[in-house]
């Protein structure tokens, strides 16, 4: 067990070593995207939106954008990123000649996206809190947990896509027809309660929606304990189930 954790940790660390070589390029989208949405939608569209739940539109958007960062950073890492490491750079072929096995690779990668999701969520939250969009900025560290719990199951979805696609271009289909629609239906931009029941049912299966609710509780300081209990519980369950399914599928790509 100790050996297993040690090897997982070294895979995470290897990814960090490579990631930090191109740090500016790698973190640009995670910083720029939420800023762009916040300015264009929050300020632009927000001028035409009456208050939601007694908040300005900017205040309403802030928590969702924070966890959406965790979704994107993790999904892209385990889809495009993992696929490139597996099929073009052959990184795993070399790793598998060491005591590392497929289990360590997959858990190590998921732990890596979890950490990345946590750090990104905290980073975005700090900026938003500075802009005065968070009621109690002391709750920022708690967003690391939310970022982690969103990034792991979303990362597992990326791995599932990796197991499924026949070439790297097919990720675009997964993104356009699954990830992007669910992003818009996760209660970031409007309360999901106004959508019809079938749409809500599908959206509820996506981990992001519970992450958004949890982040909203933290940003708005409303029902935090309850949100951690309910949404946190669902997210932990999704982490486990999604990771287990992804492991089963991707493992076949690594060990023939």
Partner 1 sequence: MVKAQSLTKSFGSFNAVDGIDLEIRKGECFALLGPNGAGKSTFINMIYGTARRTSGDLKVFGYDPTSQSREIKKRLGVVTQDNALDESLTVLENMEIYCAFIGLPKEKRKKRIEELLEYMNLSHKKEARIQALSGGMKRRLVFVRALLGNPELLILDEPTTGLDPAIRHLLWGKVRELHQAGTTIVLTTHYMHEAEVLCDRLVILNQGKIVAEGSPTQMIAEHTPGYVGIFNAKERETILNAIKNRNDSHLHEDVSGVYLRTSKLTDLTAMHSELGLQPLQIRPSNLEDVFLKLTGKELSIDA
Residues that bind partner 1 (CB under 8 A): 3, 6-7, 10, 13-14, 17-18, 21-22, 89-91, 93-101, 254-256
Is the CB of residue 97 less than 8 Å from the CB of residue 249?
no
In this complex, which beta carbon is closest to partner 1, that of residue 222 or of residue 252? 252
Q: How far is the CB of 256 from partner 1 (least distance, A)?
A: 5
Q: How far is the CB of 248 from partner 1 (least distance, A)?
A: 15
In this complex, which beta carbon is closest to partner 1, that of residue 103 or of residue 200? 103
Q: How many C-beta atoms lie closer than 10 Å to residue 178's C-beta?
A: 14
Considering just the CA atoms, what is the radius of gyration of the chain in Å?
18
Q: d(Cα 79, Cα 162) in Å, to the nearest integer? A: 5
In this complex, which beta carbon is closest to partner 1, that of residue 196 or of residue 256? 256
Q: d(Cα 146, Cα 140) in Å, to the nearest integer? A: 10
Using CB atoms within 10 A of its CB, is residue 201 exposed (0-12), middle (13-18) or buried (19+)? exposed
Q: How far is the CB of 92 from partner 1 (least distance, A)?
A: 8
Torsion (CA) 103, 106, 107, 109 in degrees, nearest 10: 150
In this complex, which beta carbon is closest to partner 1, that of residue 22 or of residue 204? 22
Q: Is 136 helix (H, G, I), strand (E, B) or coil?
A: coil
Q: How far is the CB of 151 from partner 1 (least distance, A)?
A: 23
In this complex, which beta carbon is closest to partner 1, that of residue 85 or of residue 213? 85
Q: How far is the CB of 32 from partner 1 (least distance, A)?
A: 22
């Amino acid at each position: 067990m100790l050996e297993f954790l040690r090897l997982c940790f070294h895979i995470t660390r290897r990814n960090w070593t490579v990631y930090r070589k191109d740090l500016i390029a790698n973190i640009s989208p995670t910083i720029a995207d939420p800023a762009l949405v916040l300015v264009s939608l929050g300020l632009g569209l927000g001028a035409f939106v009456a208050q939601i739940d007694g908040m300005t539109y900017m205040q309403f958007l802030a928590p969702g954008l924070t966890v959406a960062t965790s979704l994107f950073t993790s999904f892209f890492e385990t889809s495009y990123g993992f696929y490139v490491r597996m099929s073009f750079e052959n990184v795993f072929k070399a790793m598998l000649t060491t005591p590392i096995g497929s289990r360590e690779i997959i858990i190590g990668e998921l732990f890596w996206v979890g950490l990345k999701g946590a750090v990104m969520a905290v980073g975005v939250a700090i900026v938003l809190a500075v802009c005065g969009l968070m009621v109690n900025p002391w709750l920022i560290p708690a967003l690391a947990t939310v970022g982690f719990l969103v990034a792991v199951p979303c990362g597992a979805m990326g791995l599932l896509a990796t197991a499924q696609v026949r070439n790297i271009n097919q990720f675009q289909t997964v993104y356009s027809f699954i990830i992007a629609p669910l992003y818009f239906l996760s209660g970031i931009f409007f309360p999901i309660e106004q959508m019809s029941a079938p749409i809500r049912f599908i959206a509820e299966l996506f981990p992001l929606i519970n992450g958004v609710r949890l982040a909203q509780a933290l940003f708005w300081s409303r029902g935090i304990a309850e949100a951690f209990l309910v949404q946190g519980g669902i997210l932990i369950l999704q982490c486990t189930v999604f990771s287990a399914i992804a492991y089963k599928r991707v493992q076949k790509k690594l060990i023939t």
